[in-house]
Amino acid sequence: MNITCRPGTKSWSCVAIALLGVLGGCADDRMAGGNSSETPNTIAGRVVDSTGRSSIGDTVEIRPADWISENVPVQGVDRAWRTTTDSLGRYQFKGLPSGAYVVRSRNRSAGFLSEAVSVGRGRPEADLGVDTANPFLDVVGRVVADSSWIGDSAKVHVCGTDQSAVLDKSGAFRLEAVPAGHVRLLAILGRQASAARAKDEFRLPREGLIAPRLLAPTRFEDEDYSKWPRLRKARVVFSGRGWYLGSDLSLAPIRVRLDESIIPGEWEPTGASLRFSDSSGTKLPYEIESWDPVARRAEVWVRLDTANKGSEAHYLWVRWGRPDAPERSDGARVFDPAQGWVGVWHLSGGDPWKSSTGNGLRLAATSVRRANGAISGGLVLSPSSELVVEGDALQGWQETSISLWARIDSARDGADLARMGALSVPDSSDWILGVSGRGDSLRVSFRTVSQIRSKASGLSAPFAAGRWTSLGGVFSASTPRQRLVVDDDAQNVNWTDSFPVRRRTLVVGGGFSGLVDEIRLRRVASHPEAIRMQWGADRDDSPVLEWLP
């Protein structure tokens, strides 16, 4: 990219001659999470003007370093923290979740952008020192790509901010009033999971010239992993000495936990260069749920191409350490709607209500608070708590699978863990994953509509209070068969019922106190081994991955 900065009539003008390339990314669409009330992380600094005097009353905001304007939902909260500078130009943000952030200051005519700033366990406070607010600059440029790739939704974003600009048919763009400082641009040329992308990163000065850059166009499938400088290998163990898998599975998501013993040395702020492949060299889609570069811990979902019964013949490679690598984290590829995934809520990061499947389904929460979950972030529920998802995508199929991690501390008899049905009429539900009994005699059950109407108990199994448990309910129309999976135990019964699903509302919670994490909903009947594998692979002591020297 060739950028020249010069004064204009009303503002400085910065011309970007060309942004070459069609793939890239700022980072994934999430931030390392936790309960913000339990994380005392602080970012602070001071703003002065070009003469060195305190810049008083400037608006200062921080967002996750990977934030782009597309992350702001049509209805919802823009995930930003805002304050104003005091009489000495100082600002401070407290109680931040662990992660990487961008700081932006602005007044009527000037501002600055920071580099990605990481805070978390081991570095709870970050002092940015003194930054100078310089006049705004316009960034004008072009994304060089096939015109057929440039649709109406093609945009260029300034990462870590809500600023963006639409591309014209030739790929030209103009970003107005960009604060001087460290700028990362992300071009996204479509809305689908495989949309072409390009990125560039540079310092935006008041004057001078930035040397041209050439960004090589690549797709996810075309990247040459031999050019990644760091890698680590793990054996995937689905045999008796690991977690035994009783049936072959294809396109199976598993959790991969990373820490400093696997990725030694300093971690990059957002995990942008992370990549995964398997024994056959297949590039594996992945989604970063949490990335803490300070504590050097991460939770990543990787979709295995195959998971074979009783096998130890497969390997997983993780690669990292290439500074110019674009971000490829994409939940919609791991939990592909084409494979029947309707909603997957990790309940963590900067936007815990967002589904990873990319279909826009969002949780609406009542009386919940965030806390550490079974995987990363989770939610604490009381008897009056509810998580509600509504939408046309939640109806019209003949099979269903629901799974989640739950820790129930106490429950009334007949409490609902999850159900598909009207908000105020539980007995009208198409299915209910529920809890019966009291105290130490709890049982979890899965009932479908005919059993609900006849007050039948459905499939049930003992359930231990006070510990995290993986739960799943499945109804298969083709068999027909109903299944209940509790941790590694799967039960089933032949049962003909009055599906398809008619309701358009998913409700999680109602009548119990405890925590939930990792809610997954599919419009197909998952194999019980897939839900059992969720328990086997998700645990911290999981024997599925054996990391090799």
Whether the pLDDT of residue 58 is over 70: the answer is yes
- Per-residue pLDDT tens over the stretch 184-203: 888 888 766 567 777 788 88
Q: Are residues 394 and 321 in the same domain?
A: no
Last residue in a domain, options 199, 217, 235: 217
* Torsion angle of C-alpha atoms 299, 302, 306, 310, degrees rounded to 10: -10
Q: Are residues 250 and 312 in the same domain?
A: yes
Q: Are residues 306 and 406 in the same domain?
A: no
**Is residue 336, in this structure, part of any structural domain at all?**
no
- Per-residue pLDDT tens over the stretch 75-99: 445 668 999 999 999 999 998 888 8
Closest Cα partner for 337 from 359, 366, 315? 359
Q: How far is CA 453 from CA 203, 446, 480, in A?
A: 65, 13, 19
Q: Are residues 300 and 212 in the same domain?
A: no
Mean pLDDT of the residues in the chain: 84
Q: What is the rounded distance in angstroms from the CA atom of residue 223 to the CA atom of residue 276?
A: 12
- Residue pair 370/311 in contact (Cβ under 8 Å)? The answer is no
Q: Are residues 286 and 140 in the same domain?
A: no
Tally of structural domains, the chain? 3
Strands (E), 412-468: 415-420, 431-436, 443-448, 459-462
- What would the two tokens of residue 297 be? 């811990």
- Per-residue pLDDT tens over the stretch 254-286: 999 999 999 999 999 889 899 999 999 999 999
- Per-residue pLDDT tens over the stretch 347-366: 987 778 889 998 888 999 99
Whether the pLDDT of residue 26 is over 70: the answer is no
Query: What is the share, in percent, of the chain residues with pLDDT greater than 70?
Result: 86
Q: What is the rounded distance in angstroms from the CA atom of residue 364 to the CA atom of residue 355?
A: 12
**Is residue 534, in this structure, part of any structural domain at all?**
no
Whether the pLDDT of residue 227 is over 50: the answer is yes
Name beta bridge partners: 203. 182
Domain of 509, in residue numbers:
341-523
Q: Are residues 17 and 139 in the same domain?
A: yes
Q: What is the rounded distance in angstroms from the CA atom of residue 507 to the CA atom of residue 432?
A: 10
Write the CATH number for 459: 2.60.120.200
CB atoms within 10 A of CB 440: 9
Q: Are residues 233 and 213 in the same domain?
A: no
Q: What is the model's pLDDT at position 11?
A: 39
**Is residue 294, in this structure, part of any structural domain at all?**
yes
Whether the pLDDT of residue 17 is over 60: the answer is no
Report the 3 state secondary structure along 330-356: CHHHHCCHHHCEEEEECCCCCCCCECC
Query: Model's pTM, two decimal places?
Result: 0.83
Closest Cα partner for 93 from 45, 130, 129? 45
Whether the pLDDT of residue 35 is over 60: the answer is no
Q: Are residues 113 and 145 in the same domain?
A: yes
- Per-residue pLDDT tens over the stretch 502-524: 668 999 998 899 999 999 999 99
Q: What is the rounded distance in angstroms from the CA atom of residue 263 to the CA atom of residue 512?
A: 40
- Residue pair 253/303 in contact (Cβ under 8 Å)? The answer is yes
Whether the pLDDT of residue 25 is over 60: the answer is no
248: Cβ–Cβ under 8 A, 6 or more apart, which residues?
Answer: 306, 307, 308, 309
Q: Are residues 423 and 483 in the same domain?
A: yes
More confident residue, 73 or 222: 222
Write the CATH number for 61: 2.60.40.10
Chain-centroid distance, C-alpha 65 = 14
Mean pLDDT across 329-346? 94
Q: Are residues 364 and 484 in the same domain?
A: yes
- Per-residue pLDDT tens over the stretch 107-128: 999 999 999 999 987 789 999 9
Whether the pLDDT of residue 455 is over 70: the answer is yes
Whether the pLDDT of residue 208 is over 90: the answer is no
Last residue in a domain, options 193, 217, 241: 217
Give residue 393's pLDDT band: very low, low, confident or very high (50, 70, 90).
confident
Q: Are residues 64 and 86 in the same domain?
A: yes
**Is residue 68, in this structure, part of any structural domain at all?**
yes
Q: Are residues 421 and 291 in the same domain?
A: no
